[in-house]
């Protein structure tokens, strides 16, 4: 059978497939009209506030502002001496560097302090360059070692002081 003939017969046969009867116009219109009246009678929806996330430029501006403030703070603190906040004394409160304070506020006897004072003592034989305590004491940013007591020659130097 040719395609054309098949399609012709197929179309004819398919006309009976789900063949609609009379259109129930008025019944459907009554339902549609009632639905429309119901919608018209219903309270209008309250105007919604647009969430911030739905305004992309506003969210982007907020993020940019936070970043700019962060960068500014970072640069400002980096320009300060030592890269930290200024060590300003509180008005009226003596500090360790104050000569009036004397020995009462001498810093704790930390290993590098001890080594430094030993080096200043008369008749002191300096440590070999590169030796542990001397190297640590010479370094201004050396972290104080609180957990361990000084050992070896440096320890004996500290005892002599």
Partner 1 sequence: MTGALVEQARDLRVDERTLIDRVLAGDAGAARALYDAHVDRVYRLAYRLAGDEDLARDCTQDAFVRAFERLADFRGASSLATWLHSVTVSTTLNALRKRKRWWAREAPLEAADGIGRVGRQAEPDLKHRLAGAIDALPEIYRTVFLMYDVEGFTHEEIGGALGVPVGTSKARLSTARAKLRQALADFAGDWAS
Q: By CB under 8 A, name the binding residues for partner 1.
A: 1, 5-7, 9-11, 13-18, 20-21, 23-25, 27-29, 31-33, 35-36, 39
Note whether 119 and 137 are within 8 A (CB).
Answer: yes
Shortest reach from residue 25's CB to partner 1, in Å: 6
Note whether 76 and 84 are within 8 A (CB).
Answer: no
Shortest reach from residue 5's CB to partner 1, in Å: 7
Shortest reach from residue 43's CB to partner 1, in Å: 16
Q: Choose between 31 and 66: whose C-beta lies nearer to partner 1.
A: 31
Q: What is the largest CA-CA distance in the chain?
A: 124
Note whether 94 and 83 are within 8 A (CB).
Answer: no
Closest CA to 112 of 153, 140, 131, 87: 140
Q: Choose between 6 and 76: whose C-beta lies nearer to partner 1.
A: 6
């Amino acid at each position: 059978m040719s395609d054309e003939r098949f399609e012709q017969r197929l179309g004819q046969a398919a006309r009976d497939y789900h063949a609609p009867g009379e259109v129930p116009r008025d019944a459907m219109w009554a339902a549609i009209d009632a639905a429309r009246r119901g919608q018209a009678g219903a309270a209008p929806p309250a105007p919604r506030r647009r969430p911030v996330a739905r305004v992309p430029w506003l969210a982007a501006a907020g993020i940019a502002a936070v970043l700019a403030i962060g960068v500014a703070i970072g640069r400002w603190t980096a320009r300060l001496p030592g890269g930290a906040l200024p060590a300003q004394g509180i008005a009226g409160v003596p500090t360790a560097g104050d000569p009036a304070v004397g020995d009462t506020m001498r810093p704790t006897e930390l290993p590098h302090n001890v080594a430094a004072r030993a080096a200043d003592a008369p008749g002191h034989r300096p440590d070999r360059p590169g030796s542990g305590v001397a190297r640590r004491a010479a370094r201004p940013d050396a972290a104080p070692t609180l957990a361990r007591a000084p050992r070896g020659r440096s320890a004996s130097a500290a005892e002599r002081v």
